[in-house]
């Protein structure tokens, strides 16, 4: 019996909602629905009713078995972990420009401290700040904003002013600075359904919206390239941290400081409880460089 299908079924059974289960598993809603349907076909029984989502008698029986099977598989993996010969490189995830100049500086410092360590850089899109770590696709990640998940530990590296990215043909592009009230009605780029809530709240300045959804265009953004392309074509707006303006000066776009928005952070994210020496070393060199170089580069407010 496929453990992925069982995990999807169990998540829906516990959440009583396909969308929430998908977000919890970092899968699309369609994938979770497909897993449940495949399991139902395999077993020849309907496991869940829809609208509202409730367990059927067959589903009630399967829940107990599903929990035992998944717990057993996890326990087996944990028991064998210390025997695994792992020749993978140390995988560093970087979303966009990461933590600006602190990202390459940290990588160079890690290389000097551990010249024997094989390092692989993994490019992350805006939806992967949490899932790449939780799915063991990277060992550390330079991301923004800070993930909100107890399974992830963050070290704050930069604290920067927010900027809005807009077409240079829009009137707001001429302003030396704008206030939140000036930009909340702008049409923003869309994000995929599986994007973590922490990132969409950050992108759309959710705290200032009073619960109102942003006006969104059909264009979907997963990378800085997507944001800049849409802005250069005059279609929609995005947002970022101030250091974005140094890394992505594109013709046809403008970067305008949002003067009354709370400053936000980029972080080094790691799996909570990961005590491997290379992870600890990466955290140490990155936070040390943040303290030493951050104020000089304008990435950390001077005290």
* Region 217-245 average pLDDT: 96
Q: Which two tokens stand for residue 149?
A: 């998940």
Please name the residue ranges forming H helices in the chain: 3-15, 18-25, 29-43, 57-80, 102-113, 131-134, 180-183, 197-203, 224-232, 244-247, 277-297
Look at residues 203, 196, 189 and name the one whose alpha carbon lies nearest to residue 244: 203
Supply the pLDDT for residue 84: 54
Query: What is the structure's pLDDT at 77?
Result: 74
Q: Are residues 136 and 220 in the same domain?
A: no
Per residue in 148-194, pLDDT tens?
999 999 999 999 999 999 999 999 999 999 999 999 999 999 999 88
Closest C-alpha to 140, from 187, 169, 173, 99: 99
Q: Are residues 143 and 168 in the same domain?
A: no
State the CATH number of the domain containing residue 55. Answer: 1.10.10.10
Same-domain pairing of 51 and 131: no
94 and 166 together in one domain: no
Domain of residue 118: give its range: 90-157+265-297
Contact 7, 14 (CB under 8 A): no
The Cα-based distances of 194 to 139, 197, 244 in angstroms read 21, 9, 24
Give per-residue pLDDT as tens, 18-58.
Answer: 988 888 887 778 888 989 999 999 999 999 999 899 999 99
pLDDT at 25: 81
Residue range 211-230: mean pLDDT, rounded = 95
Tell me, yes or no, whether 283 and 153 share the same domain.
yes
129 and 144 co-located in one domain = yes
Instruction: Report if residue 125 sits inside a domain.
Output: yes
Q: Which of 28, 59, 83 is the last residue of a domain?
A: 83
Residue 303 belongs to some domain of the structure: no
How many structural domains does the chain have? 3
Does one domain contain both 248 and 99? no
Token pair for residue 186? 């702008």
Whole-model pTM: value is: 0.76
CATH number at residue 242: 3.40.190.10
Predicted confidence band of residue 81 (pLDDT cuts 50, 70, 90): low
Same domain, 247 and 172: yes
Four-CA torsion 106, 109, 114, 115, nearest 10 degrees = 110
Q: What length is written for the chain? A: 303
Which tens digits make up the pLDDT trace of 93-152? 999 999 999 999 999 999 999 999 999 999 999 999 999 999 999 999 999 999 999 999
| 193 is a domain residue | yes
């Amino acid at each position: 019996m496929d453990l992925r299908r069982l995990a999807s079924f169990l998540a829906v059974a516990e959440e009583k909602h396909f969308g929430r289960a998908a977000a919890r598993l970092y899968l699309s809603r369609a994938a979770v629905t497909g897993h449940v349907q495949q399991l139902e076909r395999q077993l020849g029984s309907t496991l869940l009713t829809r609208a509202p989502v409730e367990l059927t008698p067959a589903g009630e029986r399967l829940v107990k078995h599903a929990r035992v099977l998944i717990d057993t598989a996890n326990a087996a993996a944990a028991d064998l972990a210390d025997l695994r010969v792992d020749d993978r490189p140390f995988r560093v995830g970087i979303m966009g420009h990461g933590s600006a100049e602190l990202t390459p500086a940290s990588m160079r410092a890690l290389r000097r401290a551990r010249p024997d360590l094989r390092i692989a850089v993994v490019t992350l899109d805006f939806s992967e700040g949490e899932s790449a770590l939780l799915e063991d696709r990277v060992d550390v990640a330079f991301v923004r904003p800070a993930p909100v998940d107890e399974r992830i530990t963050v070290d704050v590296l930069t604290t920067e002013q927010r900027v809005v990215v807009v077409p240079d043909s829009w009137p707001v592009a001429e302003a030396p600075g704008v206030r939140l009230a000036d930009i909340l009605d702008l049409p923003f780029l869309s994000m995929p359904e599986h994007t973590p809530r922490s990132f969409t709240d950050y992108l759309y300045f959710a705290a200032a919206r009073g619960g109102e959804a942003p006006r969104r265009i059909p264009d979907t953004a997963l990378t800085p390239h997507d944001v800049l392309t849409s802005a250069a074509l005059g279609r929609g707006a995005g947002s970022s941290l101030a250091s974005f303006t140094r890394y992505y000066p594109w013709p046809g776009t403008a970067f305008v400081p949002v003067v009354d928005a709370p400053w936000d952070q980029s972080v080094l994210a790691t799996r909570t409880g990961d005590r491997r020496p290379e992870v600890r070393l990466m955290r140490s060199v990155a936070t040390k460089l943040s303290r030493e170089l951050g104020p000089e580069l304008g990435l950390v407010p001077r005290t």
